[in-house]
Structure 1
Amino acid sequence: MTTNERPTLILVHGTNSNAYGWSGLVTELTLRGHRCVAVNLPGHGDNQFIPRSYQAPQDLEALASEPSPLAEITIHDYVEHVAGVVRRARQHGPVILVGSSQGGVTVSRVANVVPELIDRVVYVAAYCCVDLPNMLAYLETPENSGSLVHLIEAMKVGDPAELGVTRINWRSAEPKAFEAIKQCLAGDFSDEGVRWLANLLEPDETAAIPVSEARGEAQTWGRIPRTYVRFTEDRLIPLSLQDRFISEADRLTPDNPTDVHSVAAPHVGPFHRPELVEILAGLASQGEGS
């Protein structure tokens, strides 16, 4: 590769989300001259499924049982899709693979598969599983005890074991649902911002990801330079759990320590925090000519 090649930032969203959540970052980074692309994982974004019973007026009884095509999607589908994007981007220069929240699972798995094509992996308040096999195992750790995820779980509709998806009623008219989104995900968002977020999030997410093998492997993932962006006001993935991810990764790869940054942001900070733009722009500038 020539010395003037610029990295491509590939952005992977989290659960019940889509590429649009990165739109502000993509716009700002692009205007600064950086190459970046936000990926819609299979079953999300342009291919998302909106249950008929989720529309207004809602039919909550039907919503609890309406089948979803996302039930057939697995982590392998996510990995194959993102690895394909990595391969295409690599034809034009270095690649920086970024994952937010549950997107960290996909980032780690892709890094296990094509480590030679990735110049840096970045976790943005994301799951970075090392010692334990999957997200579910980390949910049961002491470091996760301060999480407010139970507020979101209370918004579930139907049985994930039967539906094959975790279905969240983001459009619930219950005041406690609005407060759950605000407290767990949105932090200091205005009420208008919380309503905007509730209409952005997608109702269905495959239930397979939290129980899928998610560990980064030392001989593949572990040899790639790694950055973790801590969100210090995160109430979904507590700061103590984020720090555990960093510590475990550093113990596994002591010769490849994590580059750590901190941003005072709630879990959905990527939507509104310019500090993250600065961090990613800096990493992209460092990667030029890799």
Structure 2
Amino acid sequence: MTHEPAPVDHGGHRRPPTLVLVHGTNTSSFWCTGLVSELTLRGHRTVAVDLPGHGAEGFFPRAYQAPQDLAALATEPSPLAEITIDDYVERVVDVVRRARRHGPVILAGASQGGVTVSRVGNAIPELLDRVVYMAAYCCVDLPNLAAYLETPENSDSLLPLIQAAIVADPTVLGVNRLNWRSADPAVFQAVKQCLAADFTDEGVSRLLNMLEPDETAAIPLAEARGEAHTWGRIPRTYVRFTRDRLIPPALQDRFITEADRLTPDNPTDVRSIEAPHVGPFDRPDLVEILAGLASR
């Protein structure tokens, strides 16, 4: 595999890259508004993608509004039940193709967004100059995200705490529906411990209002492995979040080890920042890492 040459300007100079950012589960492009602003103010082309069914296309069940009807919330159908990983990949591939007309592309994903990054890397490796995983699932040996949840490296994950917010059976609705607006103190504490360890209570409240109730249940079970002959040829960076209690550092290290074993001639560029799972993503150390990659 060879990379498709990136466009050059009229002086024959290689144009600067575009950073394309992919969000994780139950959220949207809003997760990285601060990151986009900081990178843009430094002169870096940056765009955040809303995956299908998220952001401007987000679905908020009527029963999710106040006053909540919890019985109805458990059964109200969701359009996200029809969305698949292929839909996510198609959306991001379209953004990458459009960005590539103007120069190199760096594709970065957070958390579950890593699944989409890997699948896009398999599909269009010639259009990507680097892939970046920010405390993200980077599946190599095991077929999907769900399989990694059963590994010893994930044993310290506090993901089970988040189950306090689950209000519907995903096998029935086809979505993972969480009630982030719950008045149950256990939900607030679960989010703080699992996702936002060093946030103030006010910061956790803001986070809860950024999260979306529905996420397609198909993604954790979708084939997510990066392939050596496609994805494995793309330079990659893994940014470890050392205070992550959703994807523990031990599991992040397993992703790195597996990737390096698959592609020993293309080792992972590993960085670490002291952050919980959700950042915040505009923290200066992460901005510096991405700005540095864009400046290479």
Do these two structures clear the TM 0.5 threshold for a shared fold by scoring above it?
A: yes
Cross-structure match for 2:294 = 284
Alpha-carbon distance in 2 for matches of 1:270, 1:177? 20
Alpha-carbon distance in 2 for matches of 1:132, 1:273? 32
Cross-structure match for 1:196 = 206
Deviations 1:110-144 (A, max 9, x none): 00000000000000000000000000000000000
Work out whether residues 110 and 136 of structure 2, in 8 Å CA contact, stay in contact via their aligned partners in 1: yes
Work out whether residues 164 and 186 of structure 2, in 8 Å CA contact, stay in contact via their aligned partners in 1: no
Unaligned runs of 5+ in 2: 1-6
Work out whether residues 104 and 123 of structure 1, in 8 Å CA contact, stay in contact via their aligned partners in 2: yes
- Written as runs of structure 1 = structure 2, the 5 A alignment for 1:213-228 is 213-228=223-238
* Residue 131 of structure 1, aligned match among 128, 138, 141: 141
Alignment of 1:79 with 2:77, yes or no, is no
Work out whether residues 270 and 276 of structure 1, in 8 Å CA contact, stay in contact via their aligned partners in 2: no
Alpha-carbon distance in 2 for matches of 1:61, 1:5? 54
Alpha-carbon distance in 2 for matches of 1:272, 1:81? 24
Cross-structure match for 2:196 = 186
Equivalent residue of 1:200, what SS? coil
Alpha-carbon distance in 1 for matches of 2:153, 2:188? 26
Alpha-carbon distance in 2 for matches of 1:108, 1:209? 13
Cross-structure match for 1:264 = 274
Deviation at 1:270, TM superposition (A): 3.8
Cross-structure match for 1:236 = 246
* Residue 10 of structure 1, aligned match among 12, 20, 23: 20
Cross-structure match for 1:32 = 42
Equivalent residue of 1:15, what SS? coil
- Written as runs of structure 1 = structure 2, the 5 A alignment for 1:74-223 is 74-223=84-233
Number of aligned positions between the proteins: 286
Work out whether residues 144 and 241 of structure 1, in 8 Å CA contact, stay in contact via their aligned partners in 2: yes
Equivalent residue of 2:291, what SS? helix
AA aligned opposite 1:196: R
Cross-structure match for 1:62 = 72
Identity %: 74
Alignment of 1:254 with 2:264, yes or no, is yes
Equivalent residue of 2:209, what SS? helix
What is the CA RMSD across the aligned residues, in angstroms?
0.7
Runs of 4+ in 1 over 4 A off after TM superposition: none
Alpha-carbon distance in 2 for matches of 1:91, 1:236? 37
Cross-structure match for 1:22 = 32
Unaligned runs of 5+ in 1: none
Deviation at 1:196, TM superposition (A): 0.3
Alpha-carbon distance in 2 for matches of 1:198, 1:88? 33
Alpha-carbon distance in 2 for matches of 1:227, 1:67? 38
Alpha-carbon distance in 1 for matches of 2:167, 2:283? 31
Alpha-carbon distance in 2 for matches of 1:95, 1:272? 20
Alpha-carbon distance in 1 for matches of 2:248, 2:60? 30
Instruction: Calculate the TM-score normalised by the size of structure 1.
Output: 0.98
Instruction: Calculate the TM-score normalised by the size of structure 2.
Output: 0.96
Distance 1:28 1:272, change over 3 A: closer
